[in-house]
Structure formats: structure tokens, C-alpha cells
Structure 1
């Protein structure tokens, strides 16, 4: 549907009563643009580490990495494994600016988090999106974590502080790097903006994908050092161990 009929570009109308599924183009069953069948076939995360959400064979376990060296964050809450079609949807959102796909994923994540709160997950005081370096944000045109935070904040009724975390060093792209290299890259890469007040607060980082956890660890360490009482991580997808 074109909400700007004189424009050559299609603009998705999120307020339509009758939605078409963004994955298969069939009629959606509810208010979100995804049908029941496609939603059921998403790679929902089942057994996973109770701390870092690493996919595991069964429920209620803590992975060896978190047992050996507990991370600075308390819990990662994530609905999906990083597998098809979630990996494709995130890539198209992040690298091709397909915002309707990101908005859909953000809405589904908000549903997942509300269920988690109802099941006992402690609700944080505020949301903090993982920052991008200025150069990378100019190239991409947006920060996907910040957009996710904007889509999560109203339904979760949580304040969003988009500028409290800053990326002060532009590190190389992390996707193809191992955990040790990622950790070295991220040393002193982040800072808290002047005037940010996290002391005594329970905060939640927002990002798209958790891979090795190096970015989340670096930011959580920074926040805990500044006095944050607890740091959780909310993201769309968690990658399995290589080879799993």
C-alpha cells in the first residue's frame, strides 16, 4: 500500500487494519504483518544458557563459559536463534534499510519481553541502545539498536536513553572476528556521556544480535563500574557456537 500516492517509493502503512505477511505475502491473522504459520516457523530459542542465552541441548543450564567466568551482565533475553529466516530479516533491516522488517521484529521482541516480565523477569528502569561509531552511523544512516529501542520503549513502558552510551573509538567490523579479537578491539571503545546517571539503576542494553557477547560484556562492565545495580541484554537473536 502506498500512503504517499505521488511518490515513486512505496512506504509501508503500519496502521492498516488488514495486514499482509511480510514473509509470505499471505493475509496476516492479527495486527502485525506476519501470519500464524510464518511466526510459528521462526527459529524460536528453546534450550539455552540461563545467563548468556547460548543455545544448549536442554533448559535450565548455564554454559561452561558463564560458569568459568561470569559476565558483567546478569541475563540475556532473546526470542530467536540466529538462523533462517531471522538472519536474513536482520541483515535486510540493518544493511538494506528495510525498516518494516525491523519494526516487525521489534514488535515481536516486545511481545516476548512482556511475556518474560509476566513470568518473573525483573523489569529494568530504562533501556540503553548499543551505540554505533559516528562514521558507521553516517554510512548506514541509522543505528539499528536505537531504532529497536524506540520500538520497544512505548509497549514496554520503559524510558529510552539513546545518548547515554557513546562509542568513542571506531573499531573494525566485528562479524567475522573471534571472541578474543573482538574483546581486544573493544577495549576503551565505549564511554558514558557526561551527565548520565546510572548509579543504582537496573538497565537493559538493546541490540540486534548477540554473537560472542564481547560488546555486551564491555558495555556491562562500563555500566557496573559507573554504579549500575544490574545490566541485562535484550536482543533479537543469539548465535550458536560455531559448528552447532
Structure 2
């Protein structure tokens, strides 16, 4: 046992839960057991797009009618309180510790999924942000998430493979049809990009209608990618 482990408990640094301020059980994860249990974990969901459903192992009607270009969505959480507020503070208030915590929850989910037989991709591909929005925000949240996931998952990140060619309006609050129209020519493969035969995983913060993931996955599949998955922090429920 290392000397570090012999220090008195009162002398060890105390890690606080970022959500309630209580003591966190694990130094590497600033989240207490109570808050961990109370998060809106995704239970039953569509086997293809991860849409929340009443029971596991089902496929939603939309995916049955028109299967998406991506193979599957891996996400641990539903986009509900407090996750929705945490993601907003990460994206729009540059709260990196909250973003890092959410990334760790996604990391934990993916590592468990790999142990259960989920095939590992060849590369992580962060969804690109428009230049204007990245200047305003100061960072691309998908890029940060992919960089945080890379080392613990043992996967390379390729942030240059897909480029944003149009500065489309913000997708938040738009219906599925409008989102699709906005994204018709929003993305392209970088010059000289080679994806034939590769298994790729797109990384983003939230999957809502899936329009962005669908557009990029279709682009990659047409270029010869063998499989495209989507890794994200949370999945929104169906509109009521």
C-alpha cells in the first residue's frame, strides 16, 4: 500500500459534491452517492436512437419507419432536471467543472458498455461548432468532451475530419423539420479525409431530434465508414 493511503482521514483533502456540497465518496468523481442516485438516468429507451421509452429493448416508431444513418446512441442520462441545468451552465456559462463531471458520467457509462460487449470505435469525432458560435462561447463543448474521453477510453480524437461549412441558426427550440432544413449543407468532410472501413463515434452534448447526428452520419457512411455511433451526455424525451 502506498504511503499516501496511511494518512489520517482528517488530513486527506476533502472532495465536495458539485451539486450539493456534501462529501464525495470518490476523489476522482466530485459527486456524492445521494446526488448520483437522484440523477435522471436513462432506463428504457429505443435501441437505435436512445429515445426514452417505457421498457428496454424496444425500437421507436420513427426508427422503425426510417432507420437513421447512425447505428446506435450511447448516453447515460435523460435531459431532465438537474442535468438540463448542468449542461446549460457548462455550455453557456463556461462552467468547466460541471462539464468535466458530466463527461466522467459518460465515461463511466461507456466503460461499462465496453465491458458488456459494446464494440469500440476507431476514432472519436466531436461535432464541429460554427466559427461564430465558438468565438462567442470560447470553446466547443463537443471537442472538450471528446478530449476528456480520449485517455480513459483509450481512443484517438479526430477533430479535423468533419468541418462546419455553414453558420446555421441555433437548433434549440426548433422542430425536427426545421432542424433538417438548417443542416442540409452545414457539414462536409475535410479534403483528403479517409474513412472507408472505419467505425466512428460522434461526440456531442445532447441528442434532441437527431438531425445533426443524422446529417454527419450520412455524410460519413456515404464516404465508406463501416459504422457510426453517437456518444452524448443526455437524450431528450419525445415532445408531449
TM range (shorter): over 0.9
Tell me the equivalent position of 1:90: 87
2:65 to 57, 63, 68: 68
The count of aligned residue pairs is 228
* 2:45 is aligned with 1:48: yes
Distance 2:14 2:127 in 1: 34
Structure 2 gaps of 5+ residues are 1-11
Partner SS state of residue 209, structure 1: strand
Partner SS state of residue 137, structure 1: helix
Structure 1 gaps of 5+ residues are 1-15
* 2:33 is aligned with 1:25: no
2:78 to 78, 81, 91: 81
Distance 1:17 1:62 in 2: 46
Distance 1:54 1:107 in 2: 22
Tell me the equivalent position of 1:219: 216
2:159 to 149, 162, 180: 162
Q: Tell me the TM-score normalized by structure 2.
A: 0.93
Partner SS state of residue 208, structure 1: strand
Alpha-carbon offset, residue 64 of structure 1 = 0.3
* 2:223 is aligned with 1:203: no
Distance 1:18 1:213 in 2: 40
Partner SS state of residue 104, structure 1: helix
Partner SS state of residue 231, structure 2: strand
Alpha-carbon offset, residue 17 of structure 1 = 4.8
Alpha-carbon offset, residue 167 of structure 1 = 0.7
RMSD over aligned CA atoms reads 0.9
Partner SS state of residue 44, structure 1: coil
* 2:136 is aligned with 1:139: yes
Distance 2:146 2:228 in 1: 15
Q: Which stretches of structure 1, 4 residues or more, deviate above 2 A after TM superposition?
A: none
* 2:222 is aligned with 1:231: no
Distance 2:72 2:118 in 1: 9
